[in-house]
Amino acid sequence: MSTFKPDTPEYKCTEYLQYWKKNNFGKVAEILNYNEAMDKSVKKKAGYVRQMLSDKILLNYCIQKIIDDGPAVTLIEVLHKIKSPSHTYEKIVNYRLIHQDLDGNILFREENGKWVLIENFYDIEYIP
């Protein structure tokens, strides 16, 4: 799936992008941070993701920049080629990933945990 090592934010980001390309919104939902939506099941979160992304077809992507902001936070800048119902666009979106435990507590990257993506559909949602 990726040229990046597993258990890295870069790997998790490319995993998210590959699932989006395949319209696998359930898997996309599993990668998103759940601190803001603890009361939502993965099915409900997948429905939300489907609502945001289903008419935005991800044709291609390229990671432009990786910035390790701290021991548990990474920012990844991605250039997307997205086909919407009316046009095909190139759009840069910044994704923030955090390393956390299963309860949503922040962990240093060396500790046992998982990388999750902070939901950021704002830049994509409003593509016509």
pLDDT, one tens digit per residue, over 74-127 is 999 999 999 998 899 999 999 999 999 888 889 998 778 999 999 878 778 777
Single-letter amino acid, residue 49: V
pLDDT, one tens digit per residue, over 49-58 is 999 899 999 9
Q: Tally the domains of the chain.
A: 1
Return the number of other C-beta atoms located less than 10 Å from residue 25's C-beta. Answer: 20
Taking all residues of the chain, what is their mean pLDDT, rounded to a whole number? 89
Return the number of other C-beta atoms located less than 10 Å from residue 49's C-beta. Answer: 24
Residue-range definition of the domain harbouring residue 120: 9-125
Q: Specify if 26 maps to a domain.
A: yes
Instruction: Take residue 23 and report the two structure tokens written for it.
Output: 């319209």
Q: Specify if 4 maps to a domain.
A: no
Q: What is the DSSP letter of 109?
A: T
31 burial via Cβ count (<10 Å: 0-12, 13-18, 19+): buried
Beta bridge partners of 96: 75
| Mean pLDDT lowest among 7-11, 27-31, 118-122 | 118-122
Q: Specify if 2 maps to a domain.
A: no
| Cα dist from 98 to 8, 47, 48, whole Å | 10, 23, 21
CATH code assigned at 36: 3.10.450.100
Q: How confident is the model at residue 37 (pLDDT cuts 50, 70, 90)?
A: very low
